[in-house]
């Protein structure tokens, strides 16, 4: 069972990285919060690892902090929340927002996370509310320069399949509330893109 990895960061994308440890490349799935805190390519990095065993594969999930890893493991303990959805949850909402939302049973806030429906949100609240009492919110991430920040956020959204024109509009609208923070700008842009997609689908549903 792999508990941590320390090696050279040879590839990085918003949802996964490749870490070279003694000539062996480990593919590790990561949330956006971890991606935002990674060093430049070819630098040494250290990740805490959750090893997920299945009959047909072994998957590695990596985190920069113990809080992220602990929260991820609590999320996958909830009914209907697998590792992929847990990463989406951690990518769609910061831990300092997620924990209060679950503790207070704020379903409206939780269903705004891509991939989380009302039933899943209800199960998360019922099953995790008490377990999260010992998890503190993390410190805020380091701010980045605006130009580099927006380039990184745009790249992340392109990897998620959004078109360039929509990304530019969403990033511009979300810029004011991001306060120079990668996660905040990315979540804001995702919410704007999601709202735009719902508006487009609404007329079709009425027909």
Task: Identify the CATH assignment for 67-134 out of 3.40.50.10860, 1.10.150.20, 3.40.50.300, 3.30.2450.30.
Answer: 1.10.150.20
Mean pLDDT of 163-174: 81
E-strand spans in the chain? 4-12, 16-21, 24-29, 44-53, 58-63
**Domain residue ranges of the chain, discontinuous segments joined by +:** 4-63, 67-134, 146-197
Mean pLDDT of 139-156: 59
Answer whether residue 203 shows pLDDT above 60.
Answer: no
Cα–Cα distance for residue pair 171/163, rounded to 1 Å: 12
Mean pLDDT of 153-175: 78
Confidence at residue 20, expressed as pLDDT on a 0 to 100 scale = 96
Domains 4-63 and 67-134 fall in the same CATH topology: no
Answer whether residue 138 shows pLDDT above 60.
Answer: no
Nearest to 114, CA basis, from 88, 84, 75 = 88
Q: What crossing angle do the helices spanning 118-128 and 95-103 adopt, rounded to 10°? A: 80
Answer whether residue 204 shows pLDDT above 60.
Answer: no
Nearest to 5, CA basis, from 14, 22, 37, 190 = 22
Name every residue whose Cβ is closer than 8 Å to that of residue 179 and which is 6 or more positions away in sequence: 143
Q: Would you say 175 and 150 are in contact if contact means Cβ atoms under 8 Å apart? A: yes
Q: Which residue has tokens 């429906």?
A: 117
- Residue 153 tokens read as 């956020």
Strand 16-21, strand 4-12: pairing: antiparallel
Mean pLDDT of 157-171: 78
SS3 at position 6: strand
Calculate ∠ Cα 117-129-195, nearest 5°.
30
Cα–Cα distance for residue pair 51/62, rounded to 1 Å: 9
**Long-range contacts, stretch 118-127, CB < 8 angstroms, 24+ apart:** 119/80, 120/80, 120/81, 120/85, 123/78, 123/79, 123/80, 123/81, 124/75, 124/78, 124/81, 127/77, 127/78, 127/79
SS3 at position 105: coil
Determine the topology of domain 4-63 in CATH.
Answer: OB fold (Dihydrolipoamide Acetyltransferase, E2P) (2.40.50)
Rounded to two decimals, the pTM is 0.65
């Amino acid at each position: 069972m792999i508990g941590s990895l320390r090696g050279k960061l040879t590839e990085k994308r918003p949802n996964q990285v490749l870490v070279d440890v003694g000539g062996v490349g480990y593919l590790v799935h990561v949330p956006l919060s971890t991606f935002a805190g990674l060093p430049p390519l070819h630098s040494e990095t250290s990740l805490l690892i959750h090893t997920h065993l299945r009959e047909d594969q072994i998957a590695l999930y990596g985190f920069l902090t113990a809080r992220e890893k602990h929260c991820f493991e609590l999320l996958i303990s909830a009914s209907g929340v697998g590792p992929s959805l847990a990463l989406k949850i951690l990518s769609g909402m910061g831990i300092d927002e997620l924990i209060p939302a679950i503790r207070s049973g704020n379903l409206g806030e939780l269903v705004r996370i891509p991939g989380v429906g009302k039933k899943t949100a209800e199960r998360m609240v019922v099953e995790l509310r008490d377990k999260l009492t010992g998890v503190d919110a993390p410190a805020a991430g380091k701010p980045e320069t605006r130009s580099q920040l927006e380039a990184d956020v745009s790249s992340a959204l392109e990897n998620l399949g959004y078109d360039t024109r929509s990304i530019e509009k969403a990033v511009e609208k979300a810029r004011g509330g991001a306060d120079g923070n990668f996660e905040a700008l990315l979540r804001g842009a995702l919410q704007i893109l999601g709202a735009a997609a719902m508006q487009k689908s609404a007329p079709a549903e009425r027909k």
